[in-house]
Amino acid sequence: MAGSERLRLVVLFGGQSAEHDVSRVTARHVLAAADPERYHLLPIGIGRDGRWVRADAAIAALAKGTEFLPESLAVEGPTVNPFDVLDKTDGPVVVMPLLHGPMGEDGTVQGLLEVAGVAYVGSGVLGSSMSMDKVAAKHLAAAHGFAQTAWRGLHRSDVPDSPVGEEFLDGLAKELGFPMFVKPANMGSSIGISKVGDRATLRPAIDAALQHDDWIVVEEGVVAREIEVAVLGHTTSPRASVPGEIIAGAEFYDYNDKYADGVAQLLIPAPLNDELTEQVRDFACRVFRAYRAEGFARVDFLFEEGGRGLLLNEINTIPGFTPISMYPQMWQASGLPYRALIDELVGLAIERHDLAARTRLH
């Protein structure tokens, strides 16, 4: 397609979560890789205050050539009305929401896009919200019988102040043992996560997680390999990439390891035997279906060798999507390069939107 026939691809980035900066980097790489003959690219930034802006600097850079794009897109430009951006009067629109964390990956923006009646990449409202909230996600995993580590979901009100609170924490320590992980229920990129090695650091870790969410998850720590699988497709017909393995450079695969100066090793494909490779790929597709995921998701496992085997860690419905992120790299190793992956995701979004529109007519 060319000229006015190009599909308008709205690339949403930024957002109101702590992962705002990660999103800005991701959007830059998508703009650089997307086929300009196929798409009319429209980068739209969402500020930390929730304001939508047209990213004029990125648009100007694209007009000169992708090599002029900065490493991280600025959320600067004239304020725009979301429904004007999503208007389909001049032709079809597909939105690619590259928004990690709350107010982006949790079903909120997906709900807006549903109301606007536009096609968008990724999971719908239910799949996004269920997958994002770690407490709800673990309840769903338990309902499906998916193996996982021992855990407790806690609300802020469940953790009383001293001295009663100390007795509560003593019980939690006895139940889950050390080490344990404390995580905000609704956050990604390892933000707010602590590895707790003893009783003295448990409350500080809980306090740190509660800075990001009213709900937290406390999980049993295990000695295990970290295995990930990229899944692509519709809820009813997902397919899995070759698995990858992460060997963390820090105590665990934290924010710096993912995005800053980390030294994690990414092994793609993961060194697993054929039987285990097929087992983890099948497990990932079953998780994708159970969580009503759509388009793309990365499913993360812990592999406890000589113990419980594969344990579901979590599903991410807007996985890291720079060219060096695990999700695109696993598909690259499976024969689907970055640009083609973007095209496939856009095609899946259109198919799902068209099917939903036909269903609503009956």
Question: pLDDT by residue (tens digit) across 238-289?
Answer: 999 999 999 986 665 555 555 455 568 999 999 999 999 999 999 999 999 9
Q: What is the 3-state secondary structure (H, E, C) of 277-325?
A: HHHHHHHHHHHHHHCCCCEEEEEEEEEECCCCEEEEEEEECCCCCCCCC
pLDDT of residue 252: 53
Distance, CA of 133 to CA of 155 (rounded, Å): 12
What pTM was computed for the model? 0.91
Give how many domains the chain has, as a whole number.
3
Cα Rg of the chain, angstroms: 21
Long-range CB contacts for residues 352-360, cutoff 8 Å, separation at least 24? 352/119, 352/234, 352/294, 352/295, 353/118, 353/119, 353/120, 354/119
> Which pLDDT band, with edges at 50, 70 and 90, does 12 fall under?
very high
Residues 229 and 216 in one domain: no
pLDDT of residue 163: 65
> Which pLDDT band, with edges at 50, 70 and 90, does 3 fall under?
very low
Residues 87 and 208 in one domain: no
Domain that holds residue 9: 3-120
- Average model confidence (pLDDT) for the chain? 92
Pairing of strands 215-220, 194-196: unpaired
Q: CATH number, domain at 157?
A: 3.30.1490.20
pLDDT of residue 358: 81
**Residue 72, exposed/middle/buried by CB under 10 A (0-12, 13-18, 19+)?**
middle
pLDDT tens, position by position, 83-105: 999 999 989 999 999 998 889 99
pLDDT of residue 18: 82
pLDDT of residue 2: 40
Final residue belonging to a domain, choices 193, 220, 247: 220
Residue 350 belongs to some domain of the structure = no
pLDDT tens, position by position, 279-321: 999 999 999 999 999 999 999 999 999 899 999 999 999 999 9
Final residue belonging to a domain, choices 190, 220, 250: 220
Residues 109 and 173 in one domain: no
Residue 360 belongs to some domain of the structure = no
pLDDT of residue 1: 40
Cβ neighbours, 10 Å, residue 71: 8
Residue 70 Rama label (left phi>0; alpha psi -120 to 50; beta): beta
Residue 346 belongs to some domain of the structure = no
pLDDT of residue 339: 97
Distance, CA of 231 to CA of 163 (rounded, Å): 47
Q: Are 323 and 33 in contact (CB under 8 A)?
A: yes
DSSP state for residue 79 in the 8-state scheme: B
Residue 349 belongs to some domain of the structure = no
CA angle (325 as vertex; 324, 330 as ends), nearest 5: 95
Residue 358 belongs to some domain of the structure = no
Residues 135 and 270 in one domain: yes
Residues 230 and 319 in one domain: yes
pLDDT of residue 166: 87
pLDDT of residue 341: 98
Final residue belonging to a domain, choices 220, 244, 270: 220
Q: Are 23 and 98 in contact (CB under 8 A)?
A: yes
Between residues 73 and 250, which one has the greater pLDDT? 73
Residue 124 Rama label (left phi>0; alpha psi -120 to 50; beta): beta
Residue 167 belongs to some domain of the structure = yes
Helix or strand or coil: residue 218? strand
Residue 354 belongs to some domain of the structure = no
How distant, in Å, are the alpha carbons of 245, 287, 301, 341 from that of 281? Answer: 13, 10, 11, 18
pLDDT at residue 188 above 70? no
Residues 78 and 187 in one domain: no
pLDDT at residue 340 above 60? yes
Q: CATH number, domain at 279?
A: 3.30.470.20
Q: Give the DSSP letter string of 114-182.
A: HHHT-EESS--HHHHHHHH-HHHHHHHHHHHT-----EEEEEGGGSPPTTHHHHHHHHHHHHH-SSEEE
Residues 250 and 140 in one domain: yes
> Which pLDDT band, with edges at 50, 70 and 90, does 19 fall under?
confident
Residues 280 and 139 in one domain: yes
Between residues 263 and 75, which one has the greater pLDDT? 75
Residues 112 and 12 in one domain: yes
pLDDT at residue 337 above 70? yes
**Residue 359, exposed/middle/buried by CB under 10 A (0-12, 13-18, 19+)?**
exposed
Write the CB contacts of 342 (distance below 8 Å, at least 6 apart in sequence). 30, 33, 34, 35, 96
Residues 93 and 7 in one domain: yes
pLDDT at residue 362 above 70? no
Write the CB contacts of 243 (distance below 8 Å, at least 6 apart in sequence). 227, 228, 229, 269, 270, 272, 277, 280, 281, 284, 330
pLDDT of residue 264: 81
Residues 227 and 314 in one domain: yes
Residue 355 belongs to some domain of the structure = no
Residues 198 and 277 in one domain: no
**Residue 356, exposed/middle/buried by CB under 10 A (0-12, 13-18, 19+)?**
middle
